[in-house]
Chain A
Amino acid sequence: MEYFVQQLINGITLGSIYGLIAIGYTMVYGIIGMINFAHGDIFMVGAFIALITFLVLVAIGITAVPLALLIVLIVAMALTALYGWTVERIAYRPLRHSFRLAPLISAIGISIVLQNYVQVAQGARVKPLPPLIHGGYTLFEGNDFAVRLSNIQVIVVVTTLFLMVGFSFLVARTRLGRNMRACEQDLKMAALLGIDVDRTISLTFVIGAALAAVAGLMFLLYYGVVDFFIGFLAGVKAFTAAVLGGIGSLPGAMLGGILIGLIETMWSAYFSIEYKDVAAFGVLIVVLIFLPTGILGRPEVEKV
Chain B
Amino acid sequence: MSPTQILVVEHLTMSFGGLVAVSDLSFDARRREITALIGPNGAGKTTLFNCITGFYRPTVGRLQLAHPDGASFMLERMPEFRIAREARVARTFQNVRLFPGMTLLENLLVAQHKALMLASGFTVLGLFGSRRYARAEANAIDKARYWLDRVGLAARADDAAGTLPYGAQRRLEIVRALCTDPVLLCLDEPAAGLNNNESAELNKFLRAVREEHGTSILLIEHDMGVVMEISDRIVVLDHGLKIAEGTPEEVRHDPKVIAAYLGVADAELDHVDAEVAP
Contacts and interface: CB of A to CB of B under 8 A. Distances in A.
A40 to B, nearest CB: 34
A302 B54 CA distance: 13
The B interface, classified by DSSP as helix, strand, loop or mixed, is loop
A299 B46 CA distance: 21
Nearest to A299: B17
A301 B50 CA distance: 12
B16 A304 contact: no
Interface of A: 299, 301-302, 304
Interface of B: 16-17, 46, 50, 55-56, 93
A302 B47 CA distance: 12
Nearest to B46: A304
A301 B59 CA distance: 14
Contacts of B16: 301
A187 B16 CA distance: 24
B230 to A, nearest CB: 25
Nearest to A304: B55
A140 to B, nearest CB: 46
Contacts of B46: 304
Nearest to A301: B16
8 contacts: A299-B17, A301-B16, A302-B55, A304-B46, A304-B50, A304-B55, A304-B56, A304-B93
A301 B46 CA distance: 14
Contacts of B50: 304
A36 to B, nearest CB: 28
B2 to A, nearest CB: 31
A301 B57 CA distance: 12
A299 B16 CA distance: 10
Nearest to A302: B55
Contacts of A302: 55
B196 to A, nearest CB: 29
Contacts of A299: 17
A288 to B, nearest CB: 21
Contacts of A304: 46, 50, 55-56, 93
